Amino acid sequence: MKVKIAVFNTKPYDQEYFDRYTNKEELQFTYFDSPLNRDTVNLAAGYEVICVFVNDTLDRTTVEQLAEMGIKLIALRCAGYNNVDLDAAREKGIRVVRVPAYSPEAVAEHALALILTLNRKTHKAYNRVREGNFSLNKLMGFNLHGKTVGVIGTGKIGATFCGIMQGMGCRVIAFDLYPSEELKARGVEFKELEAVFRESDIISLHCPLNPETWHMINRDSLSKMKDGIMIINTSRGGLINTQDILKGLADKKIGFLGIDVYEQEENLFFKDMSEMIIEDDLILRLNSYPNVLITSHQAYFTREAMEEITLTTIGNITEYREGRALTNELT
């Protein structure tokens, strides 16, 4: 029997990859541009499965409405699931699957790209040269070699990032609730979180967002860091208290900030707003700082990652269709 799937928050590349790899005799994908939330949930009527991304909002109200419509499976085409009320889904008998890993190298490499761009100011040099300005004034950076890089969260992405930074000649220290013996053997020093804050020249966030990690970068944690600290976030926007970060930038406590995620990104990211008035005062203030670099949740965005996301999502739905155990089910 063919399973009908509603795909929300669809971008052209999502449809391209699903159409490329789907067995259309088994799965029928319908694509919606709209994000899923309590205002658009009616679009899910008539489907058995929904496929959603990081900026879809599946709160209790939305999940309960999905259950009333007969939705049996929520297929996340991402690793994070903080946007889904899992308790509500469990109560309503809706199963939830995700893509637990998709090219950790993609995200780790993007974190390095943010570091190098901020440090060596290649984005500014590019614009200068295009305008005929070949001056080196205010383009000075620093050697990464020998610097101490603090990594918070050493899952697959964090572990890959550790290796990259060791390859750059950095001392790598890390915090994780479950320190990796393999990383220890490779020379990564695991320390308490406050020690990572205190000793690092660069801090890169690679941990999930949950009640314990929400706003872990705040006024108090910033006070423990070196003056001029570089902070990189390619994980989840809610790890950072944006108001406190702005204060840290204004006080010159933060020397560099590179973020691929943002607390309120669901209202901005993945959209072309170049001809619109952006009403988010916080991101406008962040953008006003010359030592801030923002990318719009593109760290994962490589051909290899898109292929892995697509194939895993299709595999998750196929397991459901065939009544098999769900390998990547969230329980």
Closest CA to 53 of 72, 37, 38, 71: 37
Categorize the per-residue pLDDT at 266 as very low, low, confident or very high, splitting at 50, 70 and 90: confident
Task: Answer positive or negative: Cα dihedral of 256, 167, 122, 303.
Answer: negative
The pLDDT-based confidence of 37 (bands split at 50, 70, 90) is very high
Same domain, 79 and 125: no
Residue 326 lies inside a defined structural domain of this protein: no
Answer yes or no: do 154 and 220 share one domain: yes
Residue 227 lies in a domain: yes
Same domain, 98 and 130: no
Do residues 140 and 190 share a domain? yes
pLDDT of 163 reads 98
Are 74 and 108 part of one and the same domain? no
Distance of alpha carbon 239 from the chain centroid: 11
148 in the same domain as 76: no
- Tens of pLDDT, residues 132-180: 999 999 999 999 999 999 999 999 999 999 999 999 999 999 999 999 9
- Report if residue 24 sits inside a domain: yes
| 212 and 263 share one domain | yes
Report which of 296, 21, 16 is spatially closest to residue 31, judged by C-alpha positions: 16
Same domain (yes/no): 85, 109:
no
CATH number, domain of 62, equals 3.40.50.720
Q: Is residue 328 part of a domain?
A: no
329 is a domain residue: no
Number of domains in the chain: 2
Q: Residue 285 is part of which domain span?
A: 104-294
Catalytic residues: 236, 265, 297
Question: Where residue 310 falls among pLDDT bands split at 50, 70, 90?
Answer: very high
Amino acid at 195: A
In a domain, 316, yes or no: yes
Whether residue 189 is predicted with pLDDT greater than 90 in this model: the reply is yes
User: Is residue 136 in a domain?
Assistant: yes
Position 61 in a domain: yes
Q: Are residues 284 and 140 in the same domain?
A: yes
Residues 311 and 282 in one domain: no
Predicted TM-score (pTM) of this structure: 0.90
Q: Based on the domain organization, do 60 and 197 belong to the same domain? A: no
Q: What is the mean pLDDT of the chain?
A: 96
Q: Is 113 found in the same domain as 92?
A: no
Q: Return the beta strands (E) in the chain as ranges.
A: 3-7, 27-31, 49-52, 73-76, 95-97, 148-152, 171-175, 189-190, 202-205, 229-233, 254-259, 292-294
- Specify whether the CB–CB gap between 54 and 83 falls below 8 A: yes
